[in-house]
Amino acid sequence: MEVVINLKVKLNQVVSSNEFYSNKLHWSRRKRIKDDYHVLVKAETNKIKKVEPITFPVMLRIDYFFKSRMFDVSNTSIMTKMIEDSLVKSEILQDDTPKWVPEIRSTCQRSDTDFNWVSIRAYNYDIIKSGGVIDY
């Protein structure tokens, strides 16, 4: 199945959902982290020569690669949300409602590099729903 978007983003910082919502992170630091994700995703989308806004529902596949301590998958939910919001802000996705992003799949793996990074792929959800096979 054709990948509609395929981005690889080097993450300057990783933050667990537990940490993000704890009282340990001041709201201004949370905002800086969120803004950093928007900048990183936008920079990667700008590298693609012609990125048209997606006009159909997608399934997002987000694979995290950690250089040291890996998070459990559910603890990446805040990073996933910031990435999804960044795709909307970059005008790649129409919206992040279930109409446009009915499914997100995530994994966590050990990185074979000396930095943390994430692979972001989008697939046409209508093809998946009709039995299309995803090429991971």
- 66 within a domain of the structure (yes/no): yes
CATH number of the domain residue 67 falls in: 3.30.1330.70
Residue 93 placed within a domain: yes
Residue 110 lies in a domain: yes
Domain-embedded: residue 123: yes
Residue 134 within any structural domain of the chain:
no
Mean pLDDT along residues 105-113? 95
The reported pTM is: 0.89
The pLDDT tens digits of the residues spanning 12-44 come to 889 999 988 887 888 898 899 999 999 999 998
Is 25 domain-assigned? yes
Q: Are 83 and 37 in contact (CB under 8 A)?
A: yes
Please report whether residue 136 resides in a domain: no
C-beta separation of 79 from 14 below 8 A: yes
pLDDT at 136: 54
User: What is the domain range of residue 103?
Assistant: 3-129
Pairwise pLDDT comparison (135 vs 38), residue with the higher score:
38
Residue 88 lies in a domain: yes
Structurally, the chain folds into a number of domains equal to 1
Q: What is the CA radius of gyration of the chain?
A: 15
* Pair 74, 91: CB distance under 8 Å: no
